[in-house]
A and B are shown apart, each in its own frame.
Chain A
Amino acid sequence: MKKLVVSMTLVACILLFVWASWADSSKIVRFTEAWPTYIDPAIAADFSSSVSVANLYDTLVFPTYDGEVVPHLAESWEVSEDGLTYTFYLRKGVKFHNGEELKAEDVVFSMERLLTIGQGYSYIFKPIIEKVEALDDYTVRFQLKKPFGPFLYALVRLYILNKDEVLAHIEPTGEYGAMGDYGKKWLLTHDAGSGPYMVQEMRLEEYLHAVRFPEYWKPLDPDAPSEFKYIGTTETATVRTLLSKRELEISDFRQPAEFYEAVSKIEGVKVAKLFGGSTFFCMMHNRKPPTDDVHFRKALAYAIDYDAIANQIFPGARQAQGPVSFILPGHNPEVYQYRRDLEKAREELSKSRYADKLDEYPVDLVWCAEVPDEEKVALLIQANAAELGITVNVIKTPWMKIIEEVATPETTAHMYLIFVSPHYAEAGSMLQSKYHSSSCGTWEQTEWLQDPELDKMIEDAIATVDKEERFAKYRKIQEYIVDLCPSLFLIDQPENYAYQDYYIDWTAAERAERGEKVNPVMGYNHYMPDIRVYPEKREELLKKK
């Protein structure tokens, strides 16, 4: 017995008192986000993947905070008069992380690989790219199938890979014929990019650790992070502890309101609200009674308590003004905004052909089981509709089932609560994916609007190369849609991040604080070269503790 006690005490002592300590004074930025993360540019499409590839790879053009694109790998470009041919002149001397020079054939390879694999951001390019060819080592030409005005803006999603390096890591037994697995397996945990950071270590389910690429073609500020680490967790207690220990610089945006309130009390920690272009809709079936009646839909639009959603259920959000987030280039700031007005709601309802038989037409409202806050919105809509005598049945449905349900107009319910983000940072993206007939049957359009006139207007706008002209068309389309009221435009959703304001300067957070727009392209607010880190200030905070 004594031996047992002695040995147990020994084990306990070892566990409690013996450990190696380390000092961390490097210019590191650590942030948390949900796993999985795919750092293969042909697979990456979600938030954490977009952040990662934006820092590991370069693109021909670069998105700015005001929604423009500026030369990046491409020093200049020409567009043919018919808008079908784009010729890019590449910067010379750009090095990939393995030291090889980036050339036009790498751009061709990257686009071909993306289109062949058909995942990630390929959906943006698949319908428009006819051909890509390298005219010489530093000139690349894109031939489009049809004019696509936002093409330059879409190119921020074409990440350039090192062709030779990918080919050297192909698994021959893949599904892409001579290309084997197209390097997919290797690119799960390695990069073949030329971006400002390169993969140091990628541990699936745990973290991505990247360090600054010393030969990056564009000089970085000396106070820019020397490394970044994306930690794959969003557990509230863990994130809060890491922030408090100064082992985390930027939190994820998936935390509850209580978390932000608690961490904002930690010295040196602030909460930034970044609007990323995501809009929360209540989509209404435009082909199914009673939501097929525009007056019925407008009655609901006037009945909703938008302030309660924006201030109480999603604090920090702002009521959406039409179908396009205010942050997206091409948003119409003049478009009509429905506000709660029960008198107007009753007036609209009286014009509806269902006004005197509401009892016969209960409405089903589906919310996504994986987003608990949506239930509160559903119950609010139910209560608001009840004020007009409309019966709303609130239904909780798993996301996978919603996707199946909305595939046909017959199985689609009357209303769905769904967040939608643009595919690329321009109003046209949202207008097309939300309201063009081609998106019917997907979760992005459960309205089944199928309006040929609107389809023509959207196609025409997107095909317009001149930006001002295109934006003018977008504005008209937004007015047209708001008048049709196919959906309830609920809120523009901000992403809330807790960050170490005392020892990092985060451009996106500072812009948001000043009331300026942040980068509308997903992932680019976490572009590490735009962050400054001051380890000595971190030490100060640690010493105080």
Chain B
Amino acid sequence: MHFSRYIVRRLGYSIFVLIGLSIVVFIIARLVPGDPARAALGPRATQEAVEALRAKLHLDKPIYVQYFFWLRSVFQGDFGESLYTRRPVVEDIKEFLPATLELALFAGLFMAVFGLLLGIVSARYANTWVDNCIRVLAYIGIATPAFVVAIILILLFGMYYEVFPTIGRLSPGIAAPPRFTGLMTLDSLLSGNWRAFFDALKHLFLPALSLSLGGLFQEARITRASMLENAKRDFVSAARAYGIPERVVVSKYLFKPSIIPTVSILGLDFASLIGNAFLVELLFNWPGLSRYGINVMLRKDIEAIVAVVMVLGVVFTVVNILVDLVVAYLDPRIRLVERGE
């Protein structure tokens, strides 16, 4: 099969997955006990206001009819109105998704760069004190939840050594750059606002680090194991036998095939970051989608719940496809299999 057809097929499957996901989430959101209209308007809102909201949300109709209305609106680009923020869910997602994406991108960057680096160093100095230290750190890093790391970092760098800010995306007194993408760092770069750029970086550092540590050490361990395994392969021995310098052997012949499992896991880890950033966003008062998602779930904001889960579903799907592409690029065997060669 041609590789492009493989991609098209994957996209086709993804659409079915997303439709299935939307049905499941739509039903679950409505089965949770409690009247969303009453929850949104408060216990003292008038009955007329509650009934009007119920009618607006089609809650007075059978669930399959509600789903039909929802699906029709979605095709018109309307995910309904959030009962939590009282504005269209699409606007909420536009506002909150970039903040989480920016956080996840930086956390992903930390995971990729430092995870690979630690993995390589660990493999290069396997079974020495350097390797042992990295492995112990990795165990601690993987076992410690991101929110615990966040609390430690806040107390350490926010309270005892006041190096980094602990809340928000920008310091007071620094004007936010014009919104092009919603990513504060990118927008400040695009507008040439260096002060805002460095301030945004400073605000990103602690939350991104807390979020990345678990995955970072996971990638380090996988890279190490993969490199040590590949180091015993014939093609590496052959390269060494040809007298190719060790530096080239490692960087050219050993590194590339060794990072394939790391990239696969990295992709999934990155997608998970977007959904799992809740506690970190809460601790750093980061106005992101993950925190928004939990808040709407707690308030039974049915339209927003479905929209957030769908966005996360799309992110997972897209990232998975991208990972497949990267892996295929790194591993010629996959390309050849897909082409039927």
Enumerate chain A interface residues (CB-CB to B < 8 A): 1, 4-5, 8, 11, 14-16, 18-20, 22, 24, 35-36, 38, 43, 45-46, 117-119, 122-123, 126, 175, 184-185, 188, 203-207, 209, 229, 231-233, 235, 237-238, 240-242, 244-245, 398, 400-401, 403-404, 423, 442-444
Contact = CB atoms under 8 A, between A and B. Distances in A.
Contacts of B162: 245
Nearest to B34: A400
Interface of B: 32-35, 38-39, 41-46, 48-49, 52, 56, 84-87, 92, 95-96, 113-114, 117, 120, 150-151, 154-155, 158-159, 162-163, 166-169, 171-174, 195, 198-199, 201-202, 205, 247, 250-251, 282-285, 287, 291-292, 295, 300
Contacts of B195: 20
A126 B46 contact: yes
Contact of B287 (A14, A19, A206): A206
Contacts of B95: 204
Nearest to B52: A175
B285 A20 contact: no
Given A5-B117, A238-B166, A404 B52 contact: no
A4 B168 contact: no
Q: Which 6 A-B pairs have the closest CB atoms?
A: A400-B34, A118-B49, A19-B202, A118-B46, A205-B287, A123-B44
A235 B282 contact: yes
A523 to B, nearest CB: 15
The SS class assigned to the B binding surface is: helix
B168 to A, nearest CB: 6
Given A118-B46, A238-B167, A404 B34 contact: yes
Nearest to B288: A205
Contacts of A240: 155, 159
A205 B95 CA distance: 10
A346 B85 CA distance: 52
Contact of B42 (A24, A45, A237): A45
Contacts of A126: 46
A56 to B, nearest CB: 17
A118 B247 CA distance: 73
A403 B43 contact: yes
B81 to A, nearest CB: 10
A184 B49 CA distance: 14
Nearest to B208: A15
A16 to B, nearest CB: 8
Contacts of A232: 285
A175 B48 CA distance: 13
B279 to A, nearest CB: 9
Given A123-B46, A184-B86, A204-B92, 19 more contacts: A1-B120, A8-B113, A15-B201, A15-B205, A16-B205, A19-B201, A22-B174, A119-B45, A122-B45, A185-B87, A205-B291, A237-B155, A237-B283, A238-B154, A240-B159, A245-B158, A245-B162, A398-B33, A400-B33
Contacts of B32: 400
A234 to B, nearest CB: 9
Contacts of A244: 159
27 contacts: A1-B247, A1-B250, A15-B202, A15-B205, A16-B163, A18-B201, A19-B199, A19-B202, A36-B85, A117-B49, A118-B48, A119-B49, A175-B52, A185-B87, A204-B85, A204-B92, A204-B287, A205-B292, A207-B285, A231-B167, A235-B285, A237-B150, A237-B151, A238-B154, A240-B159, A241-B166, A404-B35
Contacts of B174: 20, 22
Contact of B87 (A15, A16, A188): A188
A354 to B, nearest CB: 31
A19 B56 CA distance: 48
B289 to A, nearest CB: 10
B188 to A, nearest CB: 11
A400 B154 contact: no
B168 A229 contact: no
Contacts of A207: 168, 285
A22 B168 contact: no
Contacts of A18: 198, 201
B201 A241 contact: no
A403 B34 contact: yes
Nearest to A243: B159
A237 B41 contact: no
Contacts of A36: 84-85, 295
Nearest to A227: B172
A75 to B, nearest CB: 31
A122 B46 contact: yes
Nearest to B152: A237
Contacts of A35: 295
A126 B48 CA distance: 11
A404 B33 contact: yes
A241 B300 CA distance: 32
Given A118-B45, A203-B287, A403-B43, A20 B199 contact: yes
Nearest to B206: A15
Nearest to A124: B44
Contacts of A1: 120, 247, 250-251
A118 B41 CA distance: 9
B51 to A, nearest CB: 10
Contacts of B43: 403, 442-444
Contacts of B202: 15, 19-20
Contacts of B85: 36, 188, 204-205
Most chain B CB within 10 A, of A185, A400, A444, is at A400
A269 to B, nearest CB: 13
A242 B113 CA distance: 31
Contact of A20 (B44, B86, B171): B171
A401 B201 contact: no
Nearest to B156: A241
B49 A241 contact: no
A403 B155 CA distance: 39
Given A8-B113, A19-B199, A36-B85, A119 B41 contact: yes
B196 to A, nearest CB: 8
Contacts of B44: 45, 123, 423
Contacts of B86: 38, 43, 184-185, 188
Nearest to A7: B113
B52 A400 contact: no
Contacts of A398: 33-34
Contact of B173 (A22, A122, A206, A443): A22
Contacts of B198: 14, 18-20
